[in-house]
């Protein structure tokens, strides 16, 4: 199960905090949130610090969107390709 919390930092920037398990069942919900934010041309900070598990599908999705978001608080158990290019702290 995934919990998503959105916090608008300013008119052009939003933080999306994910908590729980990022799996295949959670992807449609997360995709909807990201698509809505991208349509509004918002800069997205994705906070992954609350994730307890990420499946292969979840990792693949995060790798696919990592060009469009700033990744924050990557869990120690997770490594993303090219994570050093985006903010991984």
Give the tens place of pLDDT for each residue, 2-37: 999 999 999 999 999 999 999 999 999 999 999 999
Q: pLDDT tens digits, residue range 40-83? A: 999 999 999 999 999 999 999 999 998 889 999 988 877 654 44
**Order of strands, sheet of 69-72, starting from the edge strand that comes earlier in the sequence:** 2-10, 13-22, 43-54, 69-72
The pTM (predicted TM-score) of the whole model is 0.82
How many Cβ atoms from other residues are within 10 Å of residue 34's Cβ? 18
CATH topology of domain 2-85: Transcription Regulator spoIIAA (3.30.750)
* Res 66: pLDDT: 87
Cβ atoms within 10 Å of 14's Cβ, excluding its own:
19
Domain ranges of the chain: 2-85
Average pLDDT value over all residues in the chain? 88
């Amino acid at each position: 199960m995934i919990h998503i919390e959105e916090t608008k930092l300013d008119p052009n920037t939003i933080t999306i905090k994910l908590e729980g398990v990022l799996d295949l069942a959670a992807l449609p919900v997360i995709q909807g949130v990201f698509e809505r934010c991208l349509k509004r041309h918002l800069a997205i900070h994705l906070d992954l610090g609350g994730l307890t598990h990420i499946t292969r599908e979840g990792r693949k999705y995060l790798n696919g969107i990592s060009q469009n978001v700033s990744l924050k608080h990557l869990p120690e158990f997770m490594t993303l390709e090219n994570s050093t290019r985006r903010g991984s702290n």
